[in-house]
Amino acid sequence: MVGLTSAAGIIALLDEHDDDLKVYALQKLNGIVDQFWAEISDAVSKIEIMYEDTEFKDRALAALVASKVYYHLGEFDDSLNFALGAGNLFDLSLKSEYVDTIVSKCIDKYIAVKVQEQQDLQNAEPMDSRLKAVVEKMFDRCYQDGEYKQAVGIALEAHRLDVVEHSIKAGGPSVILPYVYDLTMTVVQDQAYRNTLLQLLVEQFRQLEEPDYVATNQCLVHLGHHKASAELLQHLVSSGSQADLLMAYQLAFDLENNATQKYLTKVSDALPVDAADAPQPKFAKVKSILSGKETIKLQLEFLCRNNHTDMLILKDSKVSIFGILMCNNIRLKRATNVLDARLSVYHSAVTFANAFMNAGTTSDDFLRQNLEWLSRATNWSKFSATAALGVIHKGQLSRGLSLLAPYLPQDGVTASPYSEGGSLFALGLIHANHGDEVLDYLRGVLRDTQIEVLQHGACLGLGTAGMATDNDDIYEELKNVLFSDSAIGGEAAGLAMGMVMLGTASEKALDEMLQYAHDTQHEKIIRGLAVGVSLVMYGKEDAADFLIERLSADKDPILRYGGMYTIAMAYAGTGSNKAIRRLLHVAVSDVNDDVRRAAVTALGFIMFRSHKQVPRIVQLLSESYNPHVRYGACLALGISCAGTGSLDAIELLEPMTKDNVDFVRQGAFIALAMVLMQQNEAQSPKAASVRKMYEEVIKKKNEDALAKFGAVLGQGIIDAGGRNVTISLQSRSGHSNMPAIVGVALFTQFWYWFPASHFLSLAFTPTAIIGVNADLNLPEIEFTSNARPSLFAYIPPTKPPAAVTVEKVATAVLSTTAKAQAKAKKAKNAESDAMDEDEKPVVKTEEAKEDEVKTTAKPKKEAQFEKLGNLARVVPAQLKYISFDKDARYVPVKKDVTGGIVVLQDNKPDEPENLIATTTSAVASTPPASGADTKMEVEEEEAPLPEPFTYPFGDE
């Protein structure tokens, strides 16, 4: 049978007057439209007339045929309109490309109308009832097929909370609830709608048979409901159940990790006080955890015990940089090797590297061993060197003032303003985000001094210690410094005002800061205020748009620069398409290089949750003709991909390490260090070559100063915190890590002001599993890492160079002497040949044969897992391999292991516990009784902390 080759005969029937013939033609055309749509399209107007004719008896069929024709023509809007007119003839159950496409367009249209209704109900387009009917049919189809996640996805975008709630209940809360929470935090970009969804999730989590307190707590932090958080903690503590008490402790640790100082203070104040006759101070423990003291104490213990800082790297860098050479056993102290010691930039570079490498470890061995080198610091290098103490001793809340006492300002006496100013900044870094104990002291110093350098250090210290406290008194005192119109003090005051009012969106603060930015003539003050304003709008998303528009349109490039950082802070971690489009537009259109660089850098803040997309977005920018754009691309990659070992990011950064512009190379070195933090050769094959590259750049005689600065800084970042920390802009539970985001944003200001480099320490996050019991002590535990040990092992320490033996110069020999020696040698050889004839052949013994076999034996196969103990380093990529034995004595109270501090349930409470002695307890331990056998105790005792020392800084 010959197949149909044309639809002309059927199309001709459309001109008949009899409706039955027209219906017959439409039925035939509906069957062949996919094959002859091009021919039918010439007659589509006739089909449209039939649909529009109210007296035609089969209008729906005409609409269906017209819809299919327009679908093939690529006119999807017209196709959708006619498909809706087809009514029930448009069968959603059919599996075809046409149905899938039209349904997709239908859902997109429905979502667009619903979103418009939410934004502006009065001017919104009215909802087509036919459109709504199709979407309802799709929801019913999802329910019938058990595809509840698909229904949730459509409902979330369409603002259909009723469908979301029904899908959670019908699909099983244990499966659907985590999915809804994940979509809420990653896909939903409207902040008000997100908060509505989180409120719904809180109600759903509470209705579970076993309430999910951890997820409820996370939602409450996002919502900012401090009263609800306090009520939840109070309920768990007061229930009388040991399991609930342990969960309360875990929630308190999670709160401390995710919430601001202001939020934690309100939660703590809302909790009751323990009764006088209470056997255990339960609420006191919860408040202690919320204050951050317990977390910091445990993290310090981890960092001190596991310090793997490679001091040889620092030593080699210092020697290469400052040219302390050994020539003919004479020590020459002059900078003729690579860099000139007179330039403070190189001194600062090594200072920052040492601070980063030893961040939080309390180890100042490098400083003690190089006091003479340290004494070379002058002016702002001295400021940076003293502030480095704050990074090294970060978290020593109880000892901060005593540690810095030799350098802090004394009453009425100012011996060295730079070291004293640096010590005030160091005090803020030690108490970063936990500054209750030092805020009054810093405020007193700020009030009592008129010295610019001291004002600068006190302002930075106040901002760092009082971050996000929303303290009006501190703000007013900082404002007084700002209004003094001192360039040095005013710049720090602008930054500190932003840190204190972090995330408040205070109209008063914004108006005053922007007004003064327009009035002052000092660029440093304007820049400090511009960045400070961006911090005030942290996390405000759409609410910051009015300020972003105002700053982006300002004629002052420094304020436009602040506008880019306002986008970065307001939309940090949201992946907002609107924010990304704006930044990309500015990156290629603004006339100022600083603004363009800031716009590209801001992409890293916006997209750190979806870091895999960043290399693709900045690929073309990394090849820009403008070196400032290339530098911004480097930082964007480093910020977003920090600690991931992303190969795509490394591929883009490697060519820029050979860029012809020195500061682009600097940015590439720093970004590579961020990406490769805690990456060994097993995880990232490029790690070893990058470390080698840093050494070569530092030793290179003709390398530019800025590039060397970046290489030294890179060495410090890649091995930060004794190789036990990473840079993470989101917390373990998925929240935005506010101190880390702010710290990295302020770190990028080192482009203008080197001391700002220290702010990077705010982003250092210890990577450990620290288990605590009900008494918040450290029990001996064991858990399994189901990966081969070498995959996540520490990087082996650098080997010292082998001793070089000096060869002796050959002695001149006369010709007569050479002839005599040759005759003697010939006679000796003849004698030895005669002796060899009498020797027996050597026979190998059995032992020798066994030794030979052993030496040629194959290396032992590596195990596929390893057992780890408490206070063990566990990098983020390793967490998915971690498992706790369910039958073990100690098991986590949380279901999912996310690292950090884990509260443990003791399954054998009646048995005695083996606890790990902390460093402080070891130092304070009493000596054993006389006559006792102390050999074992001496071996196990922790080494005491080193004695304090004073920097060898002379008077100004």
pLDDT tens per residue across span 53-75: 888 888 899 999 999 999 999 99
SS in 3 state form for 366-432? HHHHCHHHHCCCCHHHHHHHHHHHHHHCCCCCCCHHHHHCCCCCECCECCCHHHHHHHHHHHHHHCC
**pTM across the whole model:** 0.84
Q: What is the pLDDT of residue 859?
A: 64
Count of helix runs (H) and strand runs (E) in the chain: 46, 11
Instruction: Tell me the pLDDT of the chain averaged across its residues.
Output: 85
Query: Residue 794 belongs to what H/E stretch?
Result: none
CB 250 within 8 A of CB 895: no
Residue 331 has pLDDT above 50, yes or no: no
Q: How far apart are CA 767 and CA 633, in angstroms?
A: 27
Amino acid identity at 865: F
Residue 955 has pLDDT above 50, yes or no: no
Confidence of residue 324 (pLDDT cuts 50, 70, 90): very low
Q: What is the pLDDT of residue 953?
A: 56
Mean pLDDT of 635-659: 95
CB 559 within 8 A of CB 526: yes
Q: What is the DSSP letter of 294?
A: H
Amino acid identity at 568: A
Place of tokens 């760092």: 464
Mean pLDDT of 258-264: 86
Query: Residue 824 belongs to what H/E stretch?
Result: helix 815-838
Q: What is the pLDDT of residue 881?
A: 92
Percentage with pLDDT > 90 across the chain: 48
Please enumerate in sequence order all residues whose Cβ is within 8 A of that of 545, keeping only pairs 6 or more positions apart, or say none: none
Residue 851 has pLDDT above 90, yes or no: no
CB 504 within 8 A of CB 536: yes
Percentage with pLDDT > 70 across the chain: 87
* Sign of the CA dihedral with 117 first, then 119, 121, and 123 last: negative
Q: How far is CA 611 from the centre of its chain?
A: 10
Q: What is the pLDDT of residue 669?
A: 96
Closest by CA to 468, choosing from 390, 549, 569, 396, is 569
Q: Is 657 helix (H, G, I), strand (E, B) or coil?
A: coil
Lowest mean pLDDT among 15-24, 171-180, 749-758, 857-866: 857-866
Residue 715 has pLDDT above 70, yes or no: yes
Query: Residue 651 belongs to what H/E stretch?
Result: helix 647-656
Q: How far apart are CA 873 and CA 878, in angstroms?
A: 10
Q: What is the DSSP letter of 525?
A: H
Q: What is the pLDDT of residue 43?
A: 87
CB 645 within 8 A of CB 675: yes
> pLDDT for 502-532, tens place per residue?
999 999 999 999 999 999 999 999 999 999 9
CA distances from residue 345 to 4, 370, 377, 619 in whole angstroms, order as listed: 83, 18, 10, 31
Closest by CA to 310, choosing from 873, 792, 797, is 797
Please enumerate in sequence order all residues whose Cβ is within 8 A of that of 452, keeping only pairs 6 or more positions apart, or say none: 486, 487, 488, 489
Residue 653 has pLDDT above 70, yes or no: yes
State the helix-helix crossing angle for 452-465 and 417-430, rounded to 10 degrees: 0
Closest by CA to 347, choosing from 378, 390, 393, is 378
Q: What is the pLDDT of residue 134?
A: 85
Closest by CA to 19, choosing from 58, 52, 65, is 58
CB 459 within 8 A of CB 447: no
Q: What is the pLDDT of residue 902?
A: 94
* Sign of the CA dihedral with 586 first, then 587, 593, and 599 last: positive
Q: How far apart are CA 425 and CA 475, in angstroms?
A: 17
Mean pLDDT of 797-813: 64
Q: What is the DSSP letter of 677?
A: T
Burial class (CB in 10 A: 0-12, 13-18, 19+), 366: buried
> pLDDT for 367-406, tens place per residue?
888 888 788 788 888 999 999 999 999 999 888 899 898 8
Q: What is the pLDDT of residue 956?
A: 43
Place of tokens 């939903």: 188
> pLDDT for 908-936, tens place per residue?
888 898 999 887 443 333 333 333 333 33
Q: What is the pLDDT of residue 585?
A: 96
CB 429 within 8 A of CB 758: yes
Mean pLDDT of 678-703: 90
Q: What is the pLDDT of residue 925?
A: 31
Lowest mean pLDDT among 448-462, 672-686, 898-912, 920-934: 920-934
CB 929 within 8 A of CB 915: no
Confidence of residue 171 (pLDDT cuts 50, 70, 90): confident
Q: What is the pLDDT of residue 328?
A: 33
CB 405 within 8 A of CB 394: no
Confidence of residue 339 (pLDDT cuts 50, 70, 90): very low
Higher per-residue pLDDT: 582 or 840: 582
324-327 and 330-333 beta bridge pairing = antiparallel
Looking at the DSSP bridge assignments, the partners of residue 782 are: 869
Q: What is the pLDDT of residue 189?
A: 81
Q: How far apart are CA 523 and CA 528, in angstroms?
A: 9
Query: Residue 768 belongs to what H/E stretch?
Result: strand 768-772
CB 749 within 8 A of CB 531: yes
Closest by CA to 485, choosing from 541, 430, 525, is 525
Give 865's Cβ-side CA count (13 Å radius): 12
Q: How far apart are CA 205 and CA 218, in angstroms?
A: 11
Q: How far is CA 922 from the centre of its chain?
A: 34
Residue 340 has pLDDT above 60, yes or no: no
Query: Residue 892 belongs to what H/E stretch?
Result: strand 890-892
Q: What is the pLDDT of residue 92?
A: 81
Confidence of residue 812 (pLDDT cuts 50, 70, 90): low
Q: How far apart are CA 469 and CA 465, in angstroms?
A: 9
Q: What is the pLDDT of residue 578?
A: 92
> pLDDT for 277-298, tens place per residue?
666 788 899 999 999 889 999 9
Residue 338 has pLDDT above 60, yes or no: no
Mean pLDDT of 565-587: 94
Looking at the DSSP bridge assignments, the partners of residue 410 are: 413
Lowest mean pLDDT among 207-221, 314-328, 414-428, 909-923: 314-328
CB 630 within 8 A of CB 642: no
CB 481 within 8 A of CB 490: yes
